[in-house]
Amino acid sequence: MGHEIGDGTLAVGAGRPPAEKHAPGLPGPVFAAHYHLPGEPTGPYTYGRDTNPTWTLLERAIGELEGGAEVTAFSSGMAAVSAVLLSQVKAGDTVVLPDDCYQTTRALRGRLESYGVHVRTARTAGDAQLDALDGAALVWLETPSNPGLDVCDIARIAGAAHAAGALVAVDNTLATPLGQRPLDLGADFSVASDTKALTGHGDLMLGHVATRAPGLADAVRLWRKTVGAIPGPMEAWLAHRSLATLHLRLDRQAVNALALAGALLDRPEISGLRYPGLPGDPAHEPAARQMRRFGCVVSFTLPDEAHAERFLGALSLIDQATSFGSVHSSAERRGRWGGDAVAPGFVRFSVGVEDTADLLADVTAALSAAAEAP
C-alpha cells in the first residue's frame, strides 16, 4: 500500500532540489536580468523577465502543495488575478464574478467591460453562481470570500460550469493549498495572493496561478511575459523559505481563530460573527466538506463605527492594519475603505500565531474598554 506523506513533510520539502554535495538545501536567490546565452537562444534561462531559477523552485514547491500543478508566480495577488481574467476572455465573452469578493478583483469589472466583455455578478453564499452560468466563458469564485467569509461549493459549481462550457477559477487566498485544493475539486485555475497566509510574515507581495491544463498554463505564462508582472527573486526566495512552516502557522492560526470566535459568541455587543470553522456558522457545512483548515480570518460587527474604533485602539498585541494571514494578528474596520457591503462597525480580524490565552485576554480587555462610553 502506498504511503501518502503528511502536510508537514510536504511543506518542509516542497520544491527543494535533489541533494547535491556542497550545494545548499535551498539555493539562494538568483539576481539576473540576463544569462550567458551564446548561439541559439534556447531555455530554460534566457532573459530575466521570462524565467528565473528562483521562480522555478518556488513554482515547483507551490505546484506540489496544490496537489500537482503547473504554477506561474506573479509580483502580487492582483497580478495573478488579472492574468487569469484578462488572458482567458475576449470581446463578446461573458464572465461571472462574485459580488462579494475582494474589492479590487471586482474593480476589474470596468476594465473587462471596456474591452467588450460582459460581466455578471452573483453572491458567494448558496451557490448563487449556478443561476448565472448560461453562456459564460469564465466563472470566478472566491471561497471563503473576503471579507464576508461566505463559502460556495466548488465541486458543484465547477461541474455545472463545465457542462455549460465555462472555465472555473478559484481565488484560494484565504485557505491556501493546505486548507483547500480547488484543482482537486474540479477548478481549472487556483489563484492566490501569496502576500497573505501562504507566505505569512506580512513582509512581501506575491501571487500565483496554478493549473493542470498545459494550454492554460502557457497562456498565463505568456501573459506574465508580455505584461512583465514578474516577482523579484528576493521575494520568491523568501516565499519559498516561508513555505516550510506553512502547516505550523495554519494549524496555530486555526486554533486561535476558533478560540477567538468561541470567545466572541456570547458577547452582547457583537453581531454577525463569522468563522467558517465554527459549528453553527452559516458556511460551516459547505466549508467542512471541501476545506481541511478553515483559515485565520474572523469577522464580526460592533454596534457602530466609533465603538469599533475604540475597540481597535484599545488592542495592544494586535496591529491595526489591512491584509491578513500574517503570523502577527491584525484587525481593521473594513468599512473605512468603502467598496464592501459591510456595516460601519464591521471588523475583519486576522489571527496570528501568538499564544491563544494572550490573544483572548487582549481582545477581551479591548472589548471591555470599548464598551465604556468615550
Confirm or reject binding of residue 76 to ligand PLP (CB under 6 A).
yes
Confirm or reject binding of residue 172 to ligand PLP (CB under 6 A).
no
Residue 173 or 256: the one with the smaller Cβ distance to ligand PLP is 173
Least distance from C-beta 145 to ligand PLP, angstroms? 8
Closest CA relative to residue 153, chosen from 310, 289, 317? 289
Q: What angle do CA 57, 58, 63 make, to 5 degrees?
A: 100
Based on the residue annotation, tell me whether 45 is a catalytic residue of this protein.
no
Based on the residue annotation, tell me whether 171 is a catalytic residue of this protein.
yes
Residue 207 or 310: the one with the smaller Cβ distance to ligand PLP is 207
Least distance from C-beta 60 to ligand PLP, angstroms? 21
Judged by CB under 6 A, which of 55, 102, 300, 349 binds ligand PLP? 102
Question: 170: which 3 cell numbers?
Answer: 478559484
Confirm or reject binding of residue 180 to ligand PLP (CB under 6 A).
no
Q: For residue 171, what are the β-bridge partners?
A: 142, 191
Give the interface size with ligand PLP as a residue count (CB under 6 A).
Answer: 14
- Selected range binding ligand PLP among 4-12, 74-82, 229-237, 351-359, rule: CB under 6 A: 74-82
Residues 182-211: x/- map of binding to ligand PLP (CB under 6 A)?
A: -----------x-x---------x-x----
Residue 79 or 137: the one with the smaller Cβ distance to ligand PLP is 79
Residue 327 or 370: the one with the smaller Cβ distance to ligand PLP is 327
- Selected range binding ligand PLP among 72-80, 84-92, 213-221, 350-358, rule: CB under 6 A: 72-80
Q: How far apart are CA 242 and CA 244, in angstroms?
A: 5
Q: What is the DSSP string of 228-262?
A: T-PPPHHHHHHHHHHHTTHHHHHHHHHHHHHHHHH
Confirm or reject binding of residue 124 to ligand PLP (CB under 6 A).
no
Q: Which residues are CB-neighbours of 150 under 8 A, at least 6 positions away? A: 100, 123, 124, 125, 143, 144, 282, 283
Based on the residue annotation, tell me whether 196 is a catalytic residue of this protein.
yes
Least distance from C-beta 318 to ligand PLP, angstroms? 18
Nearest residue to ligand PLP, scored by beta-carbon proximity: 77
Confirm or reject binding of residue 173 to ligand PLP (CB under 6 A).
yes
H helical segments located in the chain? 7-13, 53-65, 77-88, 103-106, 108-114, 154-163, 214-227, 233-243, 246-264, 284-290, 305-314, 356-371
CA dist list (Å): 236 to 57, 218, 240: 9, 20, 6
Residue 238 or 367: the one with the smaller Cβ distance to ligand PLP is 238
- Selected range binding ligand PLP among 77-85, 339-347, 354-362, 363-371, rule: CB under 6 A: 77-85
Least distance from C-beta 369 to ligand PLP, angstroms? 29
Question: 189: which 3 cell numbers?
Answer: 485555475
Let me know how long the chain is.
374
Burial class (CB in 10 A: 0-12, 13-18, 19+), 226: exposed
The residue to which cell 503528511 is assigned: 6
Least distance from C-beta 304 to ligand PLP, angstroms? 25
Burial class (CB in 10 A: 0-12, 13-18, 19+), 103: middle
The answer to whether 174 and 192 have CB atoms below 8 angstroms apart is no
Judged by CB under 6 A, which of 81, 198, 243, 347 binds ligand PLP? 81
Least distance from C-beta 2 to ligand PLP, angstroms? 35
Residue 102 or 223: the one with the smaller Cβ distance to ligand PLP is 102
The contact set with ligand PLP (CB under 6 A) reads: 76-78, 81, 102, 104, 142, 146, 171, 173, 193, 195, 205, 207
Catalytic residues: 49, 102, 171, 196
